[in-house]
Structure 1
């Protein structure tokens, strides 16, 4: 039983973002490292630029969604993502503050995971944030939200977030 689980592939959807330094190069490097360490990249969205959310007195963010095929668990994907952030120079100061790179695990197959103070999948706020849903709907329009039962495209079309998200 354990052997079959170890060989099972999962599709992980991540959202990358950053608003410091060379934003395009930082996202590109993060994708390369995810491909090398986490799993094969299946698809990558366009780049989207958005004003900062939550803490608005900072530069605009570039965001990009990535789909990976991985044999890792969701927790292992999260750990690699945090290590990649650190490797690329991320320093955690303020919640929603400026950052060179941010890598969030948004969906992990159709799994629902709730490990308090560590990991929640699907991301608990994804359906409220246009900067998450626009790139995600681009690469996974027909993927169902495992709790809401709606497609990414449907959620994106019905979102009430007023923040402007534009292709970069």
Structure 2
């Protein structure tokens, strides 16, 4: 079975643009025929109260034959390979890869929630996702573009 997936890309430590470029190369090994679509990258202000540098964010889309949990494991392996350390929630990181969508599936498991729980409120997810699929309809039947506000667009700076 092959499923279209969308993965959020984020980094703010150790050359964040290079971290994301390296992650995209690694993601190609998870994509069928190594075909992957990547949004432009954006600079965004970090969430939460932890003092840290701005983030570089984007979204990648590709078809995969991995199950949702196997995809999660593969993404976490990529994060770990690139030096991800999980110390503080919403803290600085070399790389953050989150499954946003797995086809039109809704998944609620202890390790995995799809669609990603915060994606509808996050400009650094919605705008890059719309860059690669502007006509996307979410599993809840909401049009992606209907979630994007002028204020959200003003929050991000394309790199």
By how many angstroms is 1:119 displaced? 0.4
**Consecutive unaligned residues in structure 1, runs of 5 or more:** 1-7
User: What residue number does 2:109 align with?
Assistant: 115
User: What residue number does 2:47 align with?
Assistant: 53
- Return the TM-score normalized by structure 2: 0.93
Cα distance change on mapping 1:163 and 1:86 into 2, 3 Å: farther
Of 134, 140, 147, the match for 1:155: 147
Of 14, 17, 20, the match for 1:24: 17
Q: Distance in 2 between matches of 1:143 and 1:114?
A: 21
Q: Distance in 1 between matches of 2:109 and 2:83?
A: 26
User: What residue number does 1:64 align with?
Assistant: 58
Contact kept in structure 2, 1:16 and 1:102, CA below 8 Å: yes
Q: Distance in 1 between matches of 2:50 and 2:154?
A: 11
Cα distance change on mapping 1:17 and 1:41 into 2, 3 Å: farther
- Return the TM-score normalized by structure 1: 0.88
SS in structure 2 of the partner of residue 90 of structure 1 = coil
Contact kept in structure 2, 1:49 and 1:167, CA below 8 Å: yes
Does 2:138 match 1:135? no
RMSD over aligned CA atoms reads 1.7
Map residues 53-92 of structure 1 onto 2, 5 A cutoff: 53-92=47-86
Matched length: 158
Q: Give a deviation string over 1:136-159, Cα, whole Å, max 9, x none.
A: 111111111102x1122222238x
By how many angstroms is 1:37 displaced? 3.6
